[in-house]
Structure 1
């Protein structure tokens, strides 16, 4: 049996690869990378001395209690920020998917672009001026940035959904909202939940970084102890971060696996 001929390759694909290759070469040429300095004896000695200051980590019960409270605060920031982002993202995803006209679609897409273009750290710096230090500003920063990300992903999922089931319900007299909830939303819900869990993983890491600017949680503890050169205390905080991220990653993976399993 004769194999079918391979489809002809487009010249635009080769041009795109060539452009990407040129960009990589230009990046290496323009940046003053000094990789050899990482392996000088002085650099190795300094790094070894710095890392040795972290051992052994501080394990006193009062300090571990503080770390546990900060861990719970970081987890709460990420969970609440993600929940608010799901609500905001879904509210913007409906018009962004073109369900309310072209003007509403363009407006919603522009809002989503603004929300996700500003990093969480910048949002937190802006909100700290209005809300003050603490986890409230960090939670809002996570919610605003993640709303832009999830809103775009939700909108794309809605646009890519099979339109025939909803059209069939509408043809048989069902209301527009009922048709959406019974036909289109069930198609996209597993994908939306997967996106949400993945962003929750990212928000755990982001919440620890936001603490560096005063948004509470483990990040704020880490900045405090590093600024005072209390390296053993900082080592305990870093270990708490690693444990928290590993636990959330494992939980999120299990939930996504359960959602996608047939």
Structure 2
């Protein structure tokens, strides 16, 4: 009787990939100077204990709650206004950067025309530039330009997120079956009509889900940019940390958690309505 080899044929490739991952991870740990032993030191544990104990109970006096509500509304306004401006640039840029509505792709089996490339690649380069600079850097630049306040945060989110949304939207448009849109264009339909009837119905749920996710990220980003003077919950948290008011910080963190949970539930409801 012939004995079958019981060894997994993929064991050696998996071992090689595992060793390669460790070899690549080790320099990162070394140069980042990661030292988890610091967390186990007695001084660090006692300091973390005192810091955590200051968080309870969360601040709930009337004056601070009023400030908290104002900061929350301002954070939501910064994120929403920034996303709105980002969409105004991202939507048309994604339509230009995507080959889904290319007439040359419809007629010549995917060989893009010269004019399409000349227009498409500069737009893609612009989207790369917009998303390559972190929003916190844009916020620092706009704080210098327009002063402290929410305007800097709105502009920073608008610039960075327009690059992110434009790139992902273009990839989503190209990931679906483009034959319905091409058939409409071959029949004489305009590109906008071909997009609305041939592509958009197939990607609406994915676009909506990603947009709401990016809005949630914008809320987080607006909190971070508050530390550089862009207003909202981040600026209030910076003030509370400077005053060592642990209870206020705890209330701010709980508010931030509630905002993220509400954004997640909103995304789930919208995806369910479009399903």
TM-score strictly above 0.5 = yes
The superposition leaves residues 106-131 of structure 1 with CA deviations (integer Å, 9 ceiling, x where unpaired) of 10111111111111111111111122
8 Å contact kept, 1:71–1:217: yes
The counterpart of 1:122, out of the listed 137, 159, 173, is 137
8 Å contact kept, 1:154–1:192: yes
Q: Where do 1:176-215 residues align within 5 Å?
A: 176-215=191-230
The counterpart of 1:166, out of the listed 168, 178, 181, is 181
Q: Secondary structure at the match of 1:85?
A: helix
- For 1:52, the equivalent position in structure 2 comes to 53
Distance 1:25 1:54, change over 3 A: same
Distance 1:236 1:175, change over 3 A: closer
- Structure-2-length-normalised TM-score: 0.83
- For 1:4, the equivalent position in structure 2 comes to none
Q: In the aligned structure 2, how far is the partner of 1:139 from the partner of 1:208?
A: 12
8 Å contact kept, 2:212–2:263: no
- For 2:147, the equivalent position in structure 1 comes to 132
- Structure-1-length-normalised TM-score: 0.87
Which ranges of structure 1 fall in alignment gaps of 5 or more residues?
Answer: 1-7
- For 1:84, the equivalent position in structure 2 comes to 85
How far is 1:232 from its partner? 2.4
Q: Does 1:246 align with 2:261?
A: yes
- For 1:104, the equivalent position in structure 2 comes to 119
8 Å contact kept, 1:71–1:218: yes
Q: In the aligned structure 1, how far is the partner of 2:132 from the partner of 2:78?
A: 21
Runs of 4+ displaced beyond 3 Å: 11-21
